[in-house]
Structure 1
Amino acid sequence: MLFDLPDHSTLYQALLARNAAYDGQAYVGVSTTGVFCRLTCPARKPKPENCTFYPSVGACLEAGFRACKRCHPLQPMASADPSITALLAALDERPTYRWSEHDIERMGFDLSTVRRSFKRQFGMTFLEMARQQRLRDGFETIAGGGQVIDAQLDAGFDSPSAFRASFSRLLGRAPGRLDSTPLLFADWIETPLGNMISVCSTSRLHLLEFLDRKALKTELGKLDAFAKGKIGIGKTGPGAQIKSELEAFFDGTSARFSTPLAFGGSAFARTVWAELVQIPPGVTRSYSEIAKRIGRPSATRAVARANGANQIALAVPCHRVLGADGSLTGYGGGLWRKQKLLEIERHFKTTSKDIAE
């Protein structure tokens, strides 16, 4: 797990020194280039605020980074298994192709062996790796006003039903069932910690979540009911603003989030979320501290439930809340992300201009 790695400063010094002792044990993702490297990479060194360190290649891939062409961080895994070498090369040559189990067998590889090898080395199967990349292309086509058939082709899906099924798993409905005059607009956001979905009206941000959050389907269902089915895909002012603010956050230039927010939930939950927004970057609170600050000192468990029900990640910084003993506690986006977000925020000076209002 990421929080078992040395601290950011130690790893950055190892990157500067090209310390071979960390080869295979730690990797660096560079937000300005979108690539990840070995710490021994000969490329020009990025600024520390643009670096994110990961314990595995799989974590880098899940976070949306591409492998560096200079230090070839996938090479040791590929060398350990000829099937990985061949399949990665094939994916690189045909990134939009709809890969199937038949393709793997046709290349002479055993399906179960390939599945185990990719899961062991990358934390995901070869087909999952290829599918996520293709689905993003289709999403972007629809977001840009393209037709569903164009999105299907751009995503490399030969079968309309397969594209609909994959898309439905993402947004809870097939692309053809998206409203043509929506009240809420979904958009895809790439970040160094993984792909995210935002859902906005023309005036406010209603949801911002990582794609692999288990509660995402339920949260989208609630928004769908709220909007009476009028959810679509597209760009909005709040959507563009939160995307810009996320870029600044991960670039290390600003921790300020001022996108207008739409809070659902109970009055108590909204009070908790409003208090979370007041926590400065680089500062953490406990659930009991939040309870005291909102005038409900005995409501620690209720505060924890409201914290977990937050569906606007980062902009409503529930990751800044720790257990009473200072330990990491549950986070819908994964404890490794929570740890990384806290590490990123240590680089921001806690000044009034960086505190979300």
Structure 2
Amino acid sequence: MITSKVKQQEFYQALLEKDRAYDGIFFAGIKTTGIFCHPSCRARKPKFENCVFYQTAEEALLAGFRPCKICQPLSFPQMIPAEVQKLVDEVEAHPEKRWKESDFSALGLNSAAARRKFKEIYQMTFVQYARARRMGLAFKEISRGSKVIDQQLQVGYESSSGFNDAFTKIMGNPAKKTDIQTLTASFISTPIGRMLCLTDDEALYLLEFEDRRGLEREIERLREKYNSRIIYGQTAINQKVAEQLSEYFKGERREFSIPLFYDGSPFQKQVWETLAAIPFGKTVSYQEIAIRLGDRNKVRAVGRANGANKLAIIVPCHRVIAQNGNLTGYAGGLERKKYLLDLEQKYRN
């Protein structure tokens, strides 16, 4: 999301003027309609306060906006082939669907050809698109703090409504038990993307970038394992996380003092505790961690545990690099890993 006031004003002016030169440069999310558009869209222009600006279409989708049918923002600079449009329409009709090969056949489409065309047009895979739309709807429902959905989750009921299905199926549906645990969700903006934060009143359970691959599975496993429902709101813990992350990105904090809930095996917990002890501005290799844990042959196991870390930045898996010094294996993306390491180098002294 674009947060610079100067850029926001520039982009809003381009939106008012329907300036085609900005098509593909940014996307405008319209809060009042729930759609996102090209700057050149001929639809009636909203007020400035009802606009949110994004650099990528995936960001807009994850924020819960759907593509405008007038300007078709994902088609730039090409028109959408019929088979690709069919896939987009199907995602809108069934946002909760996890796509399989048989689903393409049922639509009369060749899976490989349709996927290839989709990526050529949208510059993202079909799986990315469908996932971003699913997660965007789910995040939108969490942000609304819907009382109806909250009540449904308490009794383990799935509504037939598309929105409610998208939420319960993506986030997992707790069993019909009375001992349901509540996790509170909040979103934290950072210079490298928005993060989803899940806490209870005692600890932080999950802190991940909202576009991380596998995030929905992580949430599902938490919900199923601990029979949890998710509501939107603020706790003392997530407020503390937001404050300390802000300080970290400003170079004002080197260590975090957040109570953490480690959801993993005894070995994974050992790895995560070792990660948490890596000093600010330092890096270690997977093999170094294996040696510290007493078995130099467990490099792959360390790598898997590192990848299973649900507490990004606070448990600094970004500080683990390959033995040759290369940056590898960061679920949030190597660009973010480099940003975090550069940030820490900048403020280490």
- The residue correspondences of 1:1-357 to structure 2 (distance < 5 A) are 34-35=3-4, 67-70=7-10, 78-79=20-21, 81=23, 84-87=38-41, 93=47, 95=51, 101-104=68-71, 112=80, 119=122, 138-142=141-145, 147-148=147-148, 161-168=161-168, 171-172=171-172, 182-349=181-348
Task: Report the Cα distance in structure 2 between the residues aligned to 1:291 and 1:126, rounded to whole angstroms.
Answer: 37
Cα distance 1:220–1:71, how it changes in 2: closer, same or farther (>3 A)?
closer
Task: Report the Cα distance in structure 2 between the residues aligned to 1:131 and 1:248, rounded to whole angstroms.
Answer: 32
CA offset at residue 127 of structure 1? 12
What secondary structure is seen at the aligned counterpart in 1 of 2:223? helix
Task: Report the Cα distance in structure 2 between the residues aligned to 1:77 and 1:302, rounded to whole angstroms.
Answer: 52
CA offset at residue 265 of structure 1? 1.3
CA offset at residue 129 of structure 1? 10
Cα distance 1:133–1:171, how it changes in 2: closer, same or farther (>3 A)?
closer
Task: Report the Cα distance in structure 2 between the residues aligned to 1:331 and 1:118, rounded to whole angstroms.
Answer: 27
Cα distance 1:73–1:288, how it changes in 2: closer, same or farther (>3 A)?
farther
CA contact 2:137–2:163 (8 Å) conserved in 1: no
CA contact 1:99–1:127 (8 Å) conserved in 2: no
What secondary structure is seen at the aligned counterpart in 1 of 2:257? coil
Cα distance 1:247–1:262, how it changes in 2: closer, same or farther (>3 A)?
same
Task: Report the Cα distance in structure 2 between the residues aligned to 1:129 and 1:229, rounded to whole angstroms.
Answer: 23
Task: Report the Cα distance in structure 2 between the residues aligned to 1:127 and 1:164, rounded to whole angstroms.
Answer: 17
Cα distance 1:280–1:88, how it changes in 2: closer, same or farther (>3 A)?
farther
Task: Report the Cα distance in structure 2 between the residues aligned to 1:317 and 1:292, rounded to whole angstroms.
Answer: 18
Cα distance 1:287–1:348, how it changes in 2: closer, same or farther (>3 A)?
same
Deviates more, 1:319-328 or 1:129-138: 129-138
Task: Report the Cα distance in structure 2 between the residues aligned to 1:78 and 1:128, rounded to whole angstroms.
Answer: 29
CA offset at residue 283 of structure 1? 0.7
One-letter amino acid of the structure 1 residue matched with residue 80 of structure 2: S
| CA-based RMSD | 4.5
CA contact 2:281–2:341 (8 Å) conserved in 1: yes
Cα distance 1:171–1:345, how it changes in 2: closer, same or farther (>3 A)?
farther
Cα distance 1:244–1:80, how it changes in 2: closer, same or farther (>3 A)?
closer
CA offset at residue 161 of structure 1? 3.6
Cα distance 1:214–1:298, how it changes in 2: closer, same or farther (>3 A)?
same
CA contact 1:288–1:324 (8 Å) conserved in 2: yes
Cα distance 1:212–1:239, how it changes in 2: closer, same or farther (>3 A)?
same
Task: Report the Cα distance in structure 1 between the residues aligned to 2:327 and 2:13, rounded to whole angstroms.
Answer: 30
Task: Report the Cα distance in structure 2 between the residues aligned to 1:338 and 1:330, rounded to whole angstroms.
Answer: 9
CA contact 1:84–1:117 (8 Å) conserved in 2: no
CA contact 2:307–2:331 (8 Å) conserved in 1: yes
Cα distance 1:308–1:73, how it changes in 2: closer, same or farther (>3 A)?
farther
Deviates more, 1:160-169 or 1:208-217: 160-169
Cα distance 1:247–1:134, how it changes in 2: closer, same or farther (>3 A)?
farther
What secondary structure is seen at the aligned counterpart in 2 of 1:272? helix
CA offset at residue 252 of structure 1? 2.6
Return 5+ residue gaps in structure 1 as ranges. 1-28, 37-42, 44-66, 150-159, 351-357
Cα distance 1:92–1:295, how it changes in 2: closer, same or farther (>3 A)?
farther
CA offset at residue 197 of structure 1? 1.2
CA offset at residue 255 of structure 1? 2.8
Task: Report the Cα distance in structure 1 between the residues aligned to 2:122 and 2:205, rounded to whole angstroms.
Answer: 34
One-letter amino acid of the structure 2 residue matched with residue 69 of structure 1: Q
Cα distance 1:80–1:269, how it changes in 2: closer, same or farther (>3 A)?
closer
Cα distance 1:165–1:91, how it changes in 2: closer, same or farther (>3 A)?
farther
Equivalence for 1:64: none
CA contact 1:276–1:318 (8 Å) conserved in 2: yes
CA offset at residue 240 of structure 1? 1.5
One-letter amino acid of the structure 2 residue matched with residue 112 of structure 1: I
One-letter amino acid of the structure 2 residue matched with residue 280 of structure 1: P
Return 5+ residue gaps in structure 2 as ranges. 25-36, 53-63, 86-117, 150-159
**Structure 1 residues 129-155: Cα deviation after superposition (integer angstroms, max 9, x where no partner):** 99998876653331xxx6459xxxxxx
TM-score if structure 1 supplies the norm length? 0.61
Cα distance 1:261–1:129, how it changes in 2: closer, same or farther (>3 A)?
closer
